[in-house]
Structure 1
């Protein structure tokens, strides 16, 4: 989100921008590694997200055209679940409300149209044609190249912020572990797992939790190449939610679980894939049940979700001139182009777009210190 915001500011503002990263993006320490993310507009998390999703898709295509890189692959996205599954119902409600094209299919129709699926006839699917896959690390690299070419943006890597302080006259100062200090009149804090601890140091408690998650790539046959298989979400009859991708450029069939996970403290090391007993089993049982052409595990990986209690984003200005953007809960990257624009407007022009109203702090507790 910080890189997207800096990219927007570099092209739409005369302000000088300092962009701090504890590592060297793209990297594996945030929430943007793993190569691919689904982009969908008929949204199971709520119809309020749809305007942002539509704006994001337009901006992704614009970035792709300007960069000359392939950043979006139009595979379509299939959402599958038992009748009455809340996520599937909300996908269809979002499509109806916003006039999005969506095919409604029975389980056997899904299996016939995409032979890589083995579904019971009672299952229900809905297919969004205009959805697809984003190449996230390519996108980060494109943004980085653009901001580094801008004379008004300074990207500082290896800047591990350990404390925020109020400026002597105004604004805010970020203090780094090596003693460097960076000050600005207006600040966006979008540091994932570090947002809550840094804000706690200013007396503002934020309802953000960190969760260890896993995903993996598998061997697969030709039924799962991008010409024959879409991206997907799957709600099982037990209510577990999975997501996945076709075999893109020979990487294999990719799948992960969206819900569950192991809670972690900020800064706590994540156990490697396979160290928890459920890491392999919770994925393998779904592979064996629903995907007849998927074979052996190639490689597994771990990532982190930063979640709010309701799993909606947290975007607000809890202290004057200090914006926070976090809690993106495993479904935020698809919106990064649109949120970079929205956050850039908020920082530069103090204009808060109405699409961000859903993500304010007041929804948790009007009495929480620092909310507005």
Structure 2
């Protein structure tokens, strides 16, 4: 399906209509801004960073107060989008963060969360084992439980914002790769094989495909191949409604996962590491490397052995990593009417509602309502650059 455009001039063009771009498109269109979204595929799709649902949304976040404030605002916006779209987007499963304190401390995250009014509960290993008998956690491990957190149905989230954006008058061109971008004072032209499209401003949110926009913009982003697996569980203790989403920090790696949803199996992925991937290449299939299944199974066998059954399903996805794993939300270094949102480093999806809202404000020359200073592109370059301001 393709919603093609009849106009050739817009207020804002969004290049990349995944989670961030589609959200921004909705908030712009809702404000009466003539908005065009262009995507190389047909979102939601399996070529970006939003497929293979679900995605965790946590509020007791590492990285300081700015992240926690973003997470709380994102939560409110997801609930609004759910009500407006009629689609089920969020499941309040709770999220249990577990960590070996020799590797990672949860204390700083708890302190920041409490100051921001986040509901969070500190648990020792014995309390975790008692509450969730399927977890066999070593005594030294610690836990932080967030009862109001949970997970998002990622593809439904993108679909919701797509439907809402179109309902408010946004236009969408799909299966149309961008072949180039040119900009001059007060205008941006996006070139595609099907024609050129002009606007007064642009938002670039190409995810793992940012390299295809060079030389117009070149960012310190490395796209990497990641894998996830769904494993058969014993009994019903890992089922949705009884088991929370989780994160797990061990000396063997950092992992995240979800309960078994409708019998699909417990989903687990590894957050760290990954194999470099380049846009246009076909990522190696799951199982190409022994660690694809091996790392996930080893983590489950060590802590949740009753969830380390048969591999029921697998998927390959993509991260877009910045050197410090923090986001990039800033102006183009040479064109003040072009905004960039990228480098979401495998933990950005939960924020796409609020990031879209903020990008919509910036593209309208309005002040952001969130603190975006730590996401400035200038942190990777000693040359002066404008942080995210109107």
TM-score by length of 2: 0.89
Q: 1:56-111 CA deviation, whole Å, 9 max, x = no partner?
A: 10111111122222211101000001125435234223223323221111112111
Q: SS state of the match for residue 287, structure 1?
A: helix
- Do the aligned residues in 1 keep the contact of 2:176 with 2:194 (CA within 8 Å)? no
- Do the aligned residues in 2 keep the contact of 1:45 with 1:87 (CA within 8 Å)? no
Give the Å deviation of 1:117: 0.6
Q: SS state of the match for residue 267, structure 2?
A: strand
Where in structure 2 are the equivalents of 1:210-359 lying within 5 Å? 210-220=223-233, 221-238=235-252, 240-294=253-307, 295-318=309-332, 319-359=335-375
1:83 aligns with 2:83: no
- Do the aligned residues in 1 keep the contact of 2:49 with 2:208 (CA within 8 Å)? no
1:94 aligns with 2:109: no
Partner of 1:171 in structure 2?
187
Partner of 2:12 in structure 1?
none
Mapped partners of 2:119, 2:376: distance in 1? 30
Provide the alpha-carbon RMSD of the alignment: 1.7
- Do the aligned residues in 2 keep the contact of 1:110 with 1:117 (CA within 8 Å)? yes
Q: 2:73 aligns with which of 51, 55, 67?
A: 55
Partner of 1:35 in structure 2?
53
Partner of 1:8 in structure 2?
27
Q: 1:160 aligns with which of 164, 172, 177?
A: 177
Mapped partners of 1:87, 1:267: distance in 2? 39
- Do the aligned residues in 2 keep the contact of 1:223 with 1:293 (CA within 8 Å)? no
Which runs of 5 or more structure 2 residues have no equivalent in the other structure? 1-19
Q: 2:377 aligns with which of 355, 361, 368?
A: 361
Q: SS state of the match for residue 34, structure 1?
A: coil
Give the Å deviation of 1:371: 6.5
Mapped partners of 1:179, 1:144: distance in 2? 21
Mapped partners of 2:242, 2:164: distance in 1? 35
1:185 aligns with 2:200: yes
Partner of 2:218 in structure 1?
205
Mapped partners of 1:118, 1:205: distance in 2? 46
- Do the aligned residues in 1 keep the contact of 2:85 with 2:164 (CA within 8 Å)? no
Partner of 2:127 in structure 1?
109
Mapped partners of 2:218, 2:175: distance in 1? 26
Q: 1:296-333 CA deviation, whole Å, 9 max, x = no partner?
A: 11111110100110000001102221111000011111
TM-score by length of 1: 0.93
Aligned length: 364
> After TM superposition, where is structure 1 displaced by more than 6 Å over at least 4 residues in a row?
none
